[in-house]
């Protein structure tokens, strides 16, 4: 079932979450262990992130350096299929521009269609370590809007090198990312919204936001989108702060701010347990306010740790 259908048929705010593929060497049970504690809240869909390969240089004969590809996590497509088989819950694989040619993207979409996975979150992706700026794969997409266009073309039976009969068209529901506090590479908010509208105009069905800790920034973002003519559902994304490392890591990594009240509370914390309590309580307050505002879905970024999300969901769902 498509994400947009879940939203359109819902009579209340839905619950969903995102998981990370485990590090290589771990089995699928690591995934199930993160999902099982959240099943009681009846997630409508589960997002599965994609992590592209990284590169290192290995010294070989005569002190020459050989570029070596390192893959740290297993593939998203297989994980999505396993989750759907075990739980019967719809999955949303992330599909990124980085590391894929257009032909490889088409092949991934064909595999997803074959497996009955009809949702995709289309993202540009981040630069890999060692890159100052995002570099598209040779023959690949530089922008998420172009990736959305390719997926939309498949939905219309237009493949890269041929057109096919109606009964073989894909039927993907396409999600894209939005940034309540502006994408860090955008010149300003106006250009950021223009790029977002390009993704929607290319065929995106809904938007999931980057994490935020000030609900007013989400509400303002939705208002600005509507004024820009962006009328698809906008799903807020939340990430509880659970340890002291998050206090520096989250603002720097995601280019966001903590509200003064939250920042003041976090500064008083001496232990990870105290940070976790503050972070969970803050997310509970956020989620309750968002639900009261009738947002379509409250989406949680678990980052591989579901216990904090379970604590929040038990208070609001």
pLDDT in tens, 76-124: 888 999 999 999 999 999 999 988 899 999 999 999 999 999 999 999 9
- In this structure, are strands 45-48 and 54-59 parallel, antiparallel, or unpaired? unpaired
Indicate if the pLDDT at residue 128 is higher than 80.
Answer: no
Helix (H) or strand (E) holding 81: helix 76-87
pLDDT band at 57 (very low <50, low <70, confident <90, very high): very low
- Specify the pLDDT at position 135: 80
Indicate if the pLDDT at residue 158 is higher than 50.
Answer: yes
User: CATH number for the domain including 247?
Assistant: 3.20.20.220
pLDDT band at 22 (very low <50, low <70, confident <90, very high): confident
* Region class of 246: left (phi > 0), else alpha (psi between -120 and 50), else beta: alpha
User: How many folded domains does the chain comprise?
Assistant: 1
Counting every residue written for the chain, the total comes to: 317
Indicate if the pLDDT at residue 289 is higher than 90.
Answer: yes
Higher-confidence residue: 28 or 256?
256
Indicate if the pLDDT at residue 176 is higher than 90.
Answer: yes
Indicate if the pLDDT at residue 283 is higher than 80.
Answer: yes
**Average pLDDT of the segment spanning 265-278:** 96
Indicate if the pLDDT at residue 297 is higher than 70.
Answer: yes
**Average pLDDT of the segment spanning 176-181:** 96
Quick check: 103 and 139 in contact, CB under 8 A? yes
Choose among 123, 139, 218, 149: nearest CA to 180: 218
266 lies in which domain range?
Answer: 3-316
The CA distance from 176 to 151, in Å, is 12
**Average pLDDT of the segment spanning 227-256:** 95
User: Other CB atoms closer than 10 Å to residue 271's CB: what's the count?
Assistant: 10
Please provide the DSSP assignment of 88-103 as one string. Answer: --EEEEEEESTT--HH
Indicate if the pLDDT at residue 312 is higher than 70.
Answer: yes
């Amino acid at each position: 079932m498509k994400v947009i259908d879940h939203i359109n048929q819902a009579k209340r705010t839905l619950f969903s979450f995102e998981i990370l593929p485990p590090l290589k060497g771990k089995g699928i049970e690591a995934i199930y262990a993160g999902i099982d504690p959240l099943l009681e809240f009846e997630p409508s869909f589960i997002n599965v992130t994609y992590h592209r390969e990284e590169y290192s240089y290995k010294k070989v004969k005569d002190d020459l350096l050989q570029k070596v590809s390192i893959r740290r996590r297993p593939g998203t497509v297989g994980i999505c299929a396993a989750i759907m088989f075990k739980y019967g819950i719809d999955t949303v694989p992330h599909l990124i521009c980085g590391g894929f040619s257009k032909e490889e993207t088409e092949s991934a979409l064909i595999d997803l269609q074959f497996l009955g996975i009809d949702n995709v979150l289309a993202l540009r992706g981040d630069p890999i370590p060692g890159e100052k700026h995002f570099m598209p794969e040779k023959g690949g997409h530089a922008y998420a809007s172009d990736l959305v266009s390719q997926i939309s073309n498949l939905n219309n039976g237009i493949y890269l090198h041929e057109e096919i009969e109606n009964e073989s068209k894909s039927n993907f529901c396409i999600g894209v990312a939005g940034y309540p506090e502006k994408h860090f590479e955008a010149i300003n908010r106006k250009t950021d919204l223009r790029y977002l509208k390009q993704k929607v105009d290319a065929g995106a069905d809904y938007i999931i936001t980057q994490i935020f800790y000030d609900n007013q920034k989400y509400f303002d973002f939705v208002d600005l989108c509507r004024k820009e003519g962006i009328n698809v559902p906008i799903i807020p994304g939340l990430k509880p702060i659970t340890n002291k490392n998050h206090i520096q890591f989250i603002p720097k990594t995601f280019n966001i701010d903590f509200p003064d009240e939250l920042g003041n509370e976090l500064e008083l914390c001496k232990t990870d347990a105290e940070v976790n309590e503050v972070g969970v309580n803050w997310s509970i307050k956020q989620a309750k306010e968002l639900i009261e505002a009738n947002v379509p879905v409250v989406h949680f970024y678990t980052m591989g740790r579901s216990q904090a999300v379970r604590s929040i969901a038990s208070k609001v769902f």
